[in-house]
Amino acid sequence: MSKKILNDTDMINVSTKIKEILVDILNINIIDIRNICSLKDNLGMDSFTALEFLAAIEQKFNITIDRGRISNVRTLQNVIELVKKYLRKAKNE
pTM of this structure: 0.85
23 found inside a domain: yes
> What per-residue string of b and e applies to 38-53 under the rule 16 or more CB within 10 Å gives b?
ebeeebebeeebeebb
3 found inside a domain: no
**Start-end of H helices in 1-93:** 8-26, 47-61, 67-70, 76-92
Contacts of residue 3, Cβ cutoff 8 Å, sequence gap at least 6: 92
Asked whether the predicted pLDDT for residue 1 surpasses 50, the reply is no
Question: 43-64, pLDDT tens digit by residue?
Answer: 999 999 999 999 999 999 999 9
Backbone dihedral angles phi then psi of residue 66, each to the nearest 5 degrees:
-60, 125
- Domains: count for the chain: 1
33 found inside a domain: yes
Average pLDDT, the chain: 88
Domain containing 70 — which CATH number? Answer: 1.10.1200.10
DSSP tag of 30: G
Mean pLDDT to the nearest integer, 20-34: 95
State the pLDDT at residue 42: 95
pLDDT band (50, 70, 90) for residue 11: low
